[in-house]
Chain A
Amino acid sequence: MEDKIHSTSRRSFLKGSLASVALFSIVPRHVLGKGFLAPSDQLTKGIVGVGGMGRGHIPYAGTRVVAVCDVDKRHIQLALNELAKTSADKGVKTLGDYRELIQLPEVDIVHIATPPHWHGIMAADAAKAGKDVWCEKPMTRTIGEGKRVMEAVQQNGRIFRLNTWFRFDSNFYGMNTTVKPIKKLVDSGMLGWPLKITVSRHTGFDWKFFWVGKTNLKPEPVPAELDYDMWLGPAPYKPYASHRVHNTFRGYWDYDGGGLGDMGQHYLDPVQYILGKDHTSPISVEVDAPQQHTDAVGTWRRIEYTYADGCKIILDGEGKDKDAAYIEGPLGKVYNGFRCDIPDFEKKLAAFPDPEPQNTDFVEAVKKRQKFALNEENGHRSCTIVNMGLAALRLGRSLKFDPDKQLFIDDEGANRLIDQPMRGPWSI
């Protein structure tokens, strides 16, 4: 009860949207950091990676930027220009090594908006440094890294959120509704079971097949403003070429996995939620694709996942089935625009209970120390689907998966992609 009384006396300092958050208990600042007290109760954040994506994190509401970090000095300058537009964000620290940022006592939340090959290490390190984490998708580049992030976050009692939101907010791609009524429809049983979910351009998703890499890159001199060794971090050293970094890194296996790697979690995380699979993973993945290059990511035609209960996810890269339903069950289908072949389904649906409410206010989750709706656990599971697909794609074969052990079955080669050794001294 002490906490609550304490918070009431501090609540009068709150401004804006935070004032509407009722009855939370603020953890004393000295527990979070090293005895530092911010001038107001607004939570603070430090952003690691302020390229185009990271600069997008500056205006996320309810928090204030106090530090930015990047291995490219130009990015830092661009971030400062952006910050200069908001008078509240003065005196922001600029850093080139994220480890300095995560140790700043004035930082409450660390935003990670680097390329994915850094996500795992940074998220785990930030958790170990006592910071809450807001991490860009995809959560991690390998399944092994995801497990380690989960451990680190839970061991250190941190709040983690992944930066995709379609499982609780925003219009859900081609469906023209949030995910809530979709989940409600699935939970109602009106569609029957098992379900098949098709993710293709005809159901509202773009696989971004132009996010591919190039072969035969010519070595180029490293620009003076870029700390290339730190940019690579745990990734194997390869001679610098401008197409490897910044806007075009998504086309290389060392850092990401093309459209599936970079958009996949946006598309597949809500699927896990809709199907109620947040604590498990599919048991197999089949892939139909041209052969992949070892360095540069290419395109694919179809990837199919199957769960133990027969539910399926179809990633249709070719857009082959023009009339595909987004969700197909034995008793009904749901199409783009949340159309359903069950007559009058919306009225029938109203009689069913809503899905359990989700905790979707990150600032509140941090203050109340509650798990955020999309956290290290279900985030890791949905990223696992992405990484299963990438492994099958890269290897050019179908794979079987054990969702409990989180290992591929009878495939040492595939398991070598689950745990990929890092360039020292980096490790999770």
Chain B
Amino acid sequence: MFMLASSVSFAQNTLTITTRIADKLAQLPAENGGEYNKNAAEMISWGKAGIVELTTMLTPAGTSDNEKIEFAIGGLTYYVNQAGQETARKLVSEAYAEALGKIKDRDNQAFILFQLQQIAGNEAVPAISAFLNDEYLSGRAARALGRIRTESASQALLSALPNAKNTAQLNIVQALGDAAYAPAAGAIEKLAGSGNAKLQKSVLYALGEIGAVSSQSVLTNAAKAVSYQFDNTNATSSYLQYLSRLNQNGQGAVAEKAALELINKATAANQTPIRSAGLKLYTDIKKREAVPVLVKETLRGTDSKYREAALALGQKYMMAEGALPWTAALVTAKPNVAAEIVTMLGNAKAQDALTPLTKLLSSKNSGVKLAAISAIAKIGQEKSLPALLSLLSKSNASETQAVKNALFSLKGDGLTSSIANVLPKLPAPAKSAMIDVLAARGATTYSNLIFGELNSKDAAVKNAAFAALKNTASSDNLPQLFTLLNSTSDAGQVSAIQNAIKSAISGAGSKDAQTALVMTQLASSNKKGALLPILASIGGSKALSSVVDAFKGNDTALQQDAVSALSNWSDGTAAEELYKIGQSTSNATYRDQALTGYIQAINSSSENAVQKVLRLRKAFELAQTDVQKQKVLRELVKHKTFNSLMFAGQFLDVPALRQTAAQTIMEIAKTDKHIYGPEVRALLEKCLNTLEGSESNYQKEEIRKHLSELPKDEGFVKIFNGKDLTGWKGLVGNPISRAKLSADSLAYKQKIADEKMRTGWIAKDGELVFTGKGDNLCTEKQYGDIEMYVDWKLAADGKEGDAGVYLRGTPQVQIWDTSRVKVGAQVGSGGLYNNQVHDSKPSKVADNQLGEWNTFFIRMIGDRVTVYLNGELVVENVILENFWDRKQPIFPMEQLELQAHGTVVSYRDIYVREIPRAEKFELSAEEKNEGYKVLFDGTNMFEWVGNTTDYVMEDGNLVCRPTGRGHGNLYTKEEYSDFTFRFEFLLTPGANNGLGVRAPLEGDAAYTGAFELQILDNTADIYKKLEAYQYHGSVYGMIPAKRGFLKPVGEWNYQEVTLKGTNVKVTLNGTVILDGDFKEATQNGEKIPDGKNHPGLFRPSGHLGFLGHGSVVSFRNIRIKDLSKVETVVEQAAQKGKKAKKNKKKK
């Protein structure tokens, strides 16, 4: 047996490699690092043969799809080139090397050579070398070998060199340079001066990288030949690289000599770069010992760029004695050079230079003095403050400026007090400069000094003082500032005072207090206009009316100030006033300001995206120019909703708005794959032909990708075309009465209803309007599970506004005027008005005021309804009751209706998405005959009571999704004593639930009912230590069930439970796991194994219930046979099927 098994498994292994590759490819690319590592490890486990097979699956570009194979190979390559993967690296490298010989396509060979460039070692050298003389692939091969950097790889390159020609020769030379392979120097030197500029470049590059002593003359001559200038062979650069490599290779003396030669001889004006490079090389070799040379070169350098190079090196290599060599040199340096040295010492923050440099503050040379000011500030910070301030009594303009600049970034706490001390005595230019510094540092402590200078006779000082008010005034200065504002007429000064008040008032208590303060001033001020911007900066609704009044008055100047203030209102409270101004004004400037302010107000409000889109659509009505319209469309992008996309879509055909609309549509669509449907698709396809600009190629690519990834079902479909009533019909009766009509009489009544409908409903300008007379408007189509968008609006002047959306032909999602307190409308719209058992009220009021549009998003799955009103969740997963017959669940399919309730109402943008349904569960013929009754078929929860919020319907399943930590219990509506209960369930890891029987609707059903049959993931670690009677299927706490018959977590289990008197039988997936009598097991209830009190044990009947324990469990296909009634049913069924049906219905 063993032998046989082993040979079979061998055969399977060879067979499965191909399958395993295919399986793995299907999983690529890996979604994350963990998957990536797992995939790579698995691919390595295929061994060399497997990887060779994978690699040889590559096909020539354009013939079929290489993507997955490239993901596999690329992933493998990068996985094995990390530390700790040496064995795998070698294996993969060998596999690639072998595959190279088998692949014929050049570009696929190139692809593998690139992989080898990342991972190859000696093992791949022979295979790679085979391509060195191939014109097309020599570069790939050479670079792969050059990257290995071992003796044998480089040797392979070198031995291929003598026979290599053209491109191959150049590639090999270049790779030998990449590898810095010293033994190749001689062979490469021989190729120098070939006359071929490309080859010459590679030769010089390689020799520069190698850095062999023997190459010196070749490189020196090449650089000299071009006078150390740039040329296409990069000779100069290669020479410098060569010298630096010489130094690294232990030939410092040779390099130093060459460097000194450059320093001393390359003195022509155009040789400054090479000479500087020589200096750098010399310094790199000598490090700090180079400083004397640097000082000397700085002093004698006539070229500022050369000095710059020397000083930069000097800053890097300050000697052990610090700045001394440099400060010493200051004595003999020419003034311009001295200034450069000072600047360098400042940049180096050379502490020991502080004293000598401070002395230079008295230099007669302006350049030196300016450099010293900046340098000592950088070095000494606060320590240099006295010296700097003392300059100010006699400084010229540029010195004052230099001190001022230095003080802005000077560190230390004493700055403002030191300036304040000297300020009064300073000459005017210095005084204004120091006021600027005090302002920059927010020196409120010295505001009295600033106020004192407002009357300065010197214009510059005065201006500086006004400008400084903003940063130095505090709330204590407000009275002074208000007085000042009243007495000032200069526009610049007024603006400075306003800014100061705006800043200072934030310290004057609450917003209301601040407003009150300004309002008091407003009452007595003769400059009301100047106070309005201050109110705008405070914001809030308190001051709004006075600013609006100012707008309405006759004073044109004040009017301008008012509009400007409103459009700059710092929060959203001015929005409605701005809108009114925009609507009513004939002044184009006001209108533009109002629109800008309105958009700004929307922006700063805390409303949700749906609400902001409604407001922006209003804003669009204000827009008159293309610029204004574009502005609104651009703003829409921020609020990515279905309606914002559809709105932007209206402008794809308007030339001036086309690009903006296309950008908006694209940006919105791509963020949400739930925005889809034929109209969305058409708009995106239109964008493909519309988008322009440098990004458009990517954007189009992205749109195509997005389109291909959208869900495959139809999505949101427009059901009102905006022009007429196509797709709609009048109302005949109700779903139940209609069902009773013959086809003829239904058609007849429909015709009359349609005529009536046309008198009450009008399609106009994209809106669907109910005039107040007639019946409901109904869709011709019937809908089951749906999501829908609909905008609605009650008339502004309409009293008693009332309407609604009927789902499945049944009232209704309520719409009404919230001021109708008498009928309870203050709860808001959106509720399921006709519900009696389940919630009929929305959870909050989210209505907009009468005359404004509102947006509904409604979802109905099974019998559950969710409603969002204006972006707020107002109804969450509530059962819609059947108004027409409360004994039935809601119809599975019916028409949508817009309710006619006698008042004017408008609708627009109605889109419906039909949600594909799981197939409804139906009893088998056998079960029907036996008298089973369906308790849950996936479409409704009509048979259930209790916690209907934690138990929800998803894809035809009944899922326990506990929202809190609560014990979610869901009970059958009816009570049972003896029964057979069949159901399927699916566990999640660690799941815990239970089936309570003969339970009342209150209390802990495991105890108040007869008992609980455990539903549990037995395999979870946390349940390792349970008692035997606590595992799945057990009569909890009493009779243990057999273990080992649950399907793995994540698969459906089928269970049957029969309770007859005190006998319990549980069959799980076809195996009886429990068959016992609880009366016996508990010794007539006297001795219960778990020792707990089970008061409900002998209840004769009760509800069945799922007893949730805070974890997710799904159930489906639930049916029951009532054994106490079953005989009658079976008898009757045997007699006449019709009667049996009737009997069942009565339940």
A residues near B (Cβ < 8 Å) are 1, 3-4, 22-23, 25, 27-28, 30-31, 34, 51-53, 99, 102-103, 124-125, 128-130, 152, 154-157, 210-212, 214-219, 236-239, 243, 246-248, 250-251, 287-295, 298, 347, 349-357, 369, 394-397, 410-414, 416, 421-425, 427
Contact = CB atoms under 8 A, between A and B. Distances in A.
A210 B308 contact: no
Interface of B: 28-33, 35-36, 39, 61-62, 65-67, 70-71, 73-75, 77-83, 107, 110-111, 114-115, 117-119, 139-140, 143, 146-147, 167, 170-171, 173-175, 177-178, 198-199, 201-202, 205, 229-230, 232, 234, 236-237, 240, 269-270, 272-273, 276-277, 280, 303-306, 308-309, 312, 334-336, 367, 378, 398, 405, 408-412, 415-416, 440-443, 471, 670, 694-699, 701-702
Nearest to A417: B118
Given A350-B440, A357-B405, A294 B304 contact: no
Given A290-B32, A294-B77, A416-B118, A424 B170 contact: yes
B698 A288 contact: no
> SS class of chain A's interface: helix, strand, loop or mixed?
loop
A405 to B, nearest CB: 14
A31 B78 contact: no
Contacts, number: 228
Contacts of B31: 290-291
A354 B62 contact: no
A411 B83 contact: yes
A217 B61 contact: yes
A338 B672 CA distance: 29
Contacts of A246: 697
Given A52-B694, A413-B81, A425 B174 contact: yes
A257 B513 CA distance: 55
A78 to B, nearest CB: 12
Contact of B409 (A34, A154, A251, A353): A353
A351 B147 contact: no
A157 B273 contact: yes
B276 A156 contact: yes
A30 B270 contact: yes
A167 B115 CA distance: 39
The 4 nearest A-B residue pairs measured at CB: A350-B442, A413-B81, A294-B74, A129-B230
A293 B67 contact: yes
B280 A154 contact: yes
Given A51-B694, A354-B408, 6 more contacts: A130-B273, A237-B110, A293-B67, A294-B114, A425-B201, A425-B205
B234 A288 contact: no
Contacts of B79: 396
B61 A416 contact: no
A15 B97 CA distance: 66
Contacts of A410: 83
Contact of B66 (A215, A247, A413): A215
B409 A357 contact: yes
A125 B234 contact: yes
B30 A291 contact: yes
B118 A216 contact: no
B83 A293 contact: no
A352 B407 CA distance: 11
Contact of A25 (B62, B230, B304, B411): B304
Contact of B147 (A4, A129, A421): A421
Contacts of B83: 410-412
Among the interface residues B118, B367, B440, which one has the most CB atoms of the partner chain A within 10 A?
B118
A247 B305 contact: no
Contacts of A248: 697-698, 701
Contacts of A22: 398
Contact of A427 (B73, B82, B174, B336): B174
Contacts of A236: 110, 114, 139-140
Contacts of A423: 139, 143
A354 B405 CA distance: 10
A357 B378 CA distance: 11
Contacts of B277: 155-156
B1042 to A, nearest CB: 45
Contacts of B117: 416, 421
A215 B118 contact: no
A397 B81 CA distance: 11
A63 B409 CA distance: 31
24 contacts: A1-B335, A4-B367, A25-B304, A34-B270, A124-B237, A125-B234, A129-B229, A156-B276, A216-B65, A243-B697, A247-B695, A287-B33, A288-B33, A291-B29, A293-B70, A294-B111, A354-B440, A369-B308, A396-B33, A397-B82, A413-B80, A421-B178, A425-B174, A427-B205
Nearest to A352: B441
Contacts of A395: 78, 81-82
Given A211-B698, A351-B441, A152 B308 contact: no
A116 B587 CA distance: 52
B82 A27 contact: no
A27 B304 contact: yes
Contacts of A421: 117, 143, 146-147, 174-175, 178
A128 B230 contact: yes
B599 to A, nearest CB: 16
Among the interface residues A51, A353, A395, which one has the most CB atoms of the partner chain B within 10 A?
A353
A99 B232 contact: yes
